[in-house]
Structure 1
């Protein structure tokens, strides 16, 4: 039997976006983005005439769901209900069952799995189309391997709906940890996973598959690129999977090389060209982190006090005027001096020794940490910043030492030439 379903996860409805200043003029666009992305998921379900939608946890961003997020969820699920499309939901660590006040009912076509494992038959014209199994988090922190509760009960195509960390993916709390071998042993056909925000597929024994669709809307610069859901077509017990982008604002990490650029207006033109090529017009907005790389005379120019900050302000104003608007999240300088540092190293002397010492600190984190801890002025500055809520100096950043070495050598070289 042939049928289709959509797999989405980690909606994080009404999430606060990191890196979007309140005075940017784009706050409203970003704040609506998670809602618009979910609406587009529903659009995919309706357009493709799917049998059902599965949502693999973290529908909400916080245990205390906002009223707006709950009303949007109800409205969109009503659209599916009216079209005769079922929805299956599990809750994860961000939206555990304990946070549900029961103040908002859901359509009869929606099945929310509880804290105990359960299986539901999906029927079409009196026949079993497939089976969906699931279990929700009762509380935010759950360290049990929930996959062990799942099991095949019949020969019908079976979906396992699970919010879990498969293989201990870094950057995500190790909740409901499991392995590929754990999932293979349960004998299910498709594992609809949530929790990890990066899209991934894992092939399992017997032709089964475990899929992370990723979150449908990036929320900060560490969630760049297309975001969306997965359209799954099932035929003869096998699946074909197609990723469908649904994000409305997109995050980017872009690099601009200084090599060959001799003027600030040339740099601005290069940034504009790169942004134009990287930010599609069909979205409602973009957010970009720009990093300057390479060597060139502009490195010295931008190393002057306040120069980088002034360039960042100018670029932020210009990019915000684009259509769709682009938010400059930050401008960072990873460029290197035009001076050939290898020549300085080989020449030795004070400059060569200075570079060698800086590189040694960068290569030895323990030595760098010791220097940081021993310097009384750095400690005092760090304490003052922490009282202001800033953690910038909580731990040393090797690139700071490296860049400081370059700048001193550059200055010494200029003085020698003069």
Structure 2
């Protein structure tokens, strides 16, 4: 008779120790050998009682429960094992592990995607802000940067826009102030350059008038000399005014060969008849340097005019030659320059006179240095002395 057992429970039926019947085992895993699940014979004598055993096959270990009974001349044994249950549990655990691995993998992928999006939202405004900062650093204050971020990055971008706006506004204000200062400085320079020749021109005219009233001998020659000098000074003033009106800057020049011996004589002749005695001591012949006639005469007039304003009654103008240079010295017996301000006399706008502009020595130094020369303040016991060193003029190849 077929054995009745609970449905779904796998079992094995033996008769006299030999396999007689097996129930369907649908949960059996493919990797568990059928020999392990269904032994073909029970080894040893079959006990006619319930028996609970732990058995093993290769590396598998399992438990089995058997019950035997005698029917007629035969001994029947039904055996139930937990291999199928373990197999099912292992499969479930494996499926659960696979599920967990999938969940973890999906979570990692989602985290990576989310982190990439988040970092992009954070880094993109920062990159644009960095590009804007680099552009501003190069002077482009019109660089536009926008953001829709309402957080800290948005505040940073808005703060950057405000900062660049303030910098641009301040830059415009500074440029305006610089233009105003430049025009004021230019006006002072023009006034100084125009005023310098006027004093010797005035003295020359006064001397001519005095000589004319006294019917001094040689009045015709003196008149011609004064008029020629006045014409040259007027030409210098006209050149200065023309350059300023054309390009709004002080006239420039291209260094060329000039004879300072003739120029020194022209300048000192302007002071003929003045209460100041000017002694000129220069070598005979020509004294050539690379420079410009107008600028040289303006520089010398600056020095002589400063001496007169310092109360000098005697002024000395001398030139000495060396192997590679000409040394021009202008000395006087005026009040001199106080020791505490001697290092500042070449600064722009610095003056020790109440009516001075502080430009004369600055412009003189600029001209001297532009032709490769050097101007120094001499140490004197009384009065003031300046030493100007000009390099000798050297003919270029091909020049005559």
* TM-score, scaled to structure 1: 0.17
For CA contacts below 8 A with separation 6 or more, give which structure has more relative contact order: 1
Q: As a proportion of its length, which structure holds more helix?
A: 2
- Give the number of the structure whose alpha-carbon radius of gyration is greater: 2
User: Structure 2-normalised TM-score?
Assistant: 0.18
